[in-house]
Amino acid sequence: MILPMDDNTQYGELHKLFDSNFLNYTSYVIKERAIPDVDDGLKPVQRRILQTLFNMDDGRFHKVANVVGDCMKLHPHGDASIFSALVNLANKEYLIDRQGNFGNIYTGDNASAARYIECRLLTLAKETLFNKDLTEYADSYDGRMKEPVVLPAKIPMLLLLGAEGIAVGMATKIMPHNFRELLEAQKQILRDEPFEIFPDFPKGGLVDVSGYQEGNGRIRCRARIEEKDEKTIVIREIPHSTTTESLIESVEKAARAGKIKILSIQDYTAEQVEIEIKLARGIYATETIRALYAFTDCEVPISPNLTVIMENQPVVMGVDQVLRRNTIKLQEGLEKELRIDLGRNREKLHAHLLEQIFIEERLYKDIEECKTYPAVLETIDTSLLPFRERLVRDVTVEDIEQLLEIRIKRISRYDLNRKKKEISEVRGRIKEIEESLRDMVAFTLGYLDKLLTLYGDRYPRRTEIIPFDEVEARKVALSNLTVGYDRETGFLGYQVKAEAEHSFACSEYDKILLITNDGAYRVTNVAEKVFVGPDLAWVGKIDEKMVFSVIYRDGAANLCNVKRFKTPKFILEKEYRLFPEHPRSRILFLKTEENLFLRVYFAPNKRARHNFSDYRLDDFLVKGANAIGKRLSPRVVRRITETAPPKEGSAPPLEPDPQPNLFPVPEGEGKEKA
């Protein structure tokens, strides 16, 4: 319905309705679906799945379809979302034991249908996630059942499992970490020692954590690639967030684009990753491995984002903050368990002592003459008064009623020694608990050591942490394009046909340097076909190590300068100059080779003994591209030719070589000024 703009009242009410509903929807998606809780590291659907498995637990496997059905009593969404979350959680291998085909994290294959596979809780989950005494429960979505608000996790589940989720206006991307390293870091926190913790991925591979900013920042993941021989490459492990299918697709795409050359690629992945790549003729493994990292998903960047729910609010935290909070929660949880255990053992000791006194002192005989139940209660209470100091606490009516429930058969067979042993054991347990409570740091360290002993060897580090060498795409790209320059038409590009001397091979990542005869130069990208003009003195791809040797005529003085310079710094498509602009300034000689010998012919001069001079260009210093250079000679240059290196002891010829002028002198400049 479209409301009239002048009906401000109705429009305002509708606007408020949208605002209110959208805020509720946003809050629901953030807290109830996408973002995990910092304390137990779980999203609501994961927490409900684990609680359902705990409720169903009898030590045997349960059909996943039954687990999903029971979980729907707690989860207000469909079975597909529950099944998907259960499979994902099971494949992390920490909490759920699997039986059947749960898919393949390497290939990306889906799990079998829920009716064909089974699961149950692992011992680690039962020992570290559940304690009814410490769990706060709330009504389920329909009010028929109770579900945990947060599970009392005793291990840093958030950092162990990792998480990904997209909510409204925010997202989270938390990296998984190694079980043993997390618990060792918690021990360092308890001992007030510095610690570092980095991601560990179930698919293995390599990771560069130089940009990992406490759970945020940026990391780079690489596949583990082996060189089987110079013509065969084998990929053994793949980066996080990829599958063998997606990685192979990226390799084939790079091959179609001409960035790498391969003969074939085969996927032999089963329990372990094995992708074999055969290389084409003339291509070798060492160079191809670097190209795979540059152009395929063999290297992927990941930008972690540690957004969590803490105390009912979304916050961005660091790994150290999360781990310190989890460690504090662990210590507090263990202390609460000890105090609950202490209370129960004291009650147990109280009951044992009451029974011992009641039977050994034959207090039951005092009630033989009592005719009413209140009289019985009063008689026993009075008879226990002399023994109050031996008891843990005051006697209550409930205590007396428990004594009255003791059978005659049990009294007649009462074993004094056995009862003393039981009391001694309970006293010993109470003393042990009290000692633990006096030093909770030591007790928590002992608990972590116990977990490491039981489970640490099951979860070795899978991802190797190493710094990556930067792979520049331009350096590893194949020179699969032939750029041509047609001087007649003035066009340049890999779609331009030209003679071999005006063509050169390059890749799409190379930059092309253009130098015109009037001393202007600029750098451009490789293009299909672009007009650059017919007046180029030099064209070629940029090479930082290249040294240019230039002889140019200074139009203002009508004399020649020589200079040598390395490839200049540049901004793409911006024009620069090698020497000041002048109508008569022009490049006479330009080459990049080393060890060049030149013969320079001058305008005739009767006073000069010779009209030419030989030069070795390497004798001139390499300076910047903006340098003016060194004056070649005070005489006017007519032409320049390359010559062979002079032989030792030989003298230059007296007359110049009679060759035609390569660079004609402008009219009126045939004679030198006196």
Higher local confidence (pLDDT), 668 or 328: 328
How many Å from the N-terminal Cα to the C-terminal Cα in the chain?
A: 98
Give bridge partners of residue 224 from the DSSP assignment: 237
Specify the pLDDT at position 670: 39
Check if the beta carbon of residue 115 is closer than 8 Å to that of residue 96.
no
Mean pLDDT, to the nearest integer, of 589-608?
Answer: 85
Written as six digits, the tokens of 426 are 């309970």
Closest CA to 101 of 87, 114, 92, 111: 111
pLDDT tens digit sequence for 214-253: 889 999 999 999 998 888 999 999 999 999 999 999 999 9
Specify the pLDDT at position 607: 78
Specify the pLDDT at position 572: 87
d(CA 310, CA 289): 44
CATH of 219-302, one of 3.30.420.40, 3.30.1360.40, 3.90.79.10, 3.40.640.10: 3.30.1360.40
pLDDT tens digit sequence for 609-648: 778 888 888 888 888 888 888 898 888 888 888 888 776 6
What is the side-by-side order of every strand in the sheet holding 224-229? 224-229, 232-237, 275-279, 262-267
d(CA 619, CA 598): 12
* pLDDT over 90 at 276, yes or no: yes
d(CA 430, CA 424): 10
Strands 206-208 and 464-465: parallel
pLDDT tens digit sequence for 58-114: 999 999 999 999 999 999 888 999 999 999 999 999 999 999 999 999 999 999 999
d(CA 145, CA 52): 11
Check if the beta carbon of residue 67 is closer than 8 Å to that of residue 79.
no
Specify the pLDDT at position 515: 92
CATH 3.90.199.10 holds for 35-153: yes
Average pLDDT of the chain?
A: 87
Give me the CATH topology for the region 322-458: Topoisomerase; domain 3 (1.10.268)
Specify the pLDDT at position 472: 67
d(CA 261, CA 561): 47
pLDDT tens digit sequence for 512-554: 899 999 999 999 988 888 898 888 888 988 888 889 999 999 8
User: Could you tell me how many residues make up the chain?
Assistant: 674
* pLDDT over 90 at 500, yes or no: no
pLDDT tier at 657, thresholds 50, 70, 90: very low
Specify the pLDDT at position 510: 83
pLDDT tens digit sequence for 377-427: 888 888 888 888 888 888 888 888 888 887 776 776 667 788 888 889 999
Q: For 159, phi and psi rounded to 5 degrees?
A: -80, -25
User: DSSP code of 195?
Assistant: -
- ∠ CA(363), CA(369), CA(375), 5° rounding? 80
Higher local confidence (pLDDT), 3 or 291: 291
Specify the pLDDT at position 465: 93
- ∠ CA(161), CA(165), CA(169), 5° rounding? 145
Helix intervals (H) in 241-284: 244-256
CB-count exposure of residue 549 (10 Å: 0-12, 13-18, 19+): buried
Whole-structure pTM value: 0.76
CA 219 to chain centre: 4
Check if the beta carbon of residue 157 is closer than 8 Å to that of residue 322.
no
* pLDDT over 50 at 36, yes or no: yes
Mean pLDDT, to the nearest integer, of 270-291?
Answer: 89
pLDDT tens digit sequence for 421-442: 888 999 999 999 999 999 999 9
Specify the pLDDT at position 473: 66
pLDDT tier at 654, thresholds 50, 70, 90: very low
What is residue 380's three-state secondary structure?
A: helix
Q: In this prediction, what percent of the chain has a pLDDT beyond 70? A: 92
* pLDDT over 60 at 4, yes or no: no
Closest CA to 541 of 568, 513, 576: 513
* pLDDT over 80 at 589, yes or no: yes
Specify the pLDDT at position 648: 60
d(CA 238, CA 225): 9
d(CA 288, CA 232): 10
* pLDDT over 50 at 660, yes or no: no
Specify the pLDDT at position 133: 92
* pLDDT over 70 at 146, yes or no: yes
Residues 6+ apart with CB under 8 A from 279: 231, 232, 233, 261, 262, 263, 285, 288
The alpha-carbon radius of gyration of the chain (Å, integer) is 43
Check if the beta carbon of residue 152 is closer than 8 Å to that of residue 333.
yes
Catalytic (active-site) positions: 116
d(CA 50, CA 42): 10
d(CA 445, CA 526): 63
* pLDDT over 90 at 180, yes or no: yes
Written as six digits, the tokens of 524 are 């451009």
Mean pLDDT, to the nearest integer, of 149-173?
Answer: 92
Give me the CATH topology for the region 476-642: Neuraminidase (2.120.10)
Specify the pLDDT at position 8: 59
Strands 637-642 and 597-602: antiparallel
Mean pLDDT, to the nearest integer, of 318-331?
Answer: 95
Residues 6+ apart with CB under 8 A from 394: 388
CA 63 to chain centre: 35
Written as six digits, the tokens of 13 are 């009410």
Specify the pLDDT at position 669: 40
- ∠ CA(328), CA(331), CA(336), 5° rounding? 125
Closest CA to 213 of 197, 200, 228: 197
Specify the pLDDT at position 495: 86
Domain boundaries, the chain: 1-25, 35-153, 219-302, 322-458, 476-642
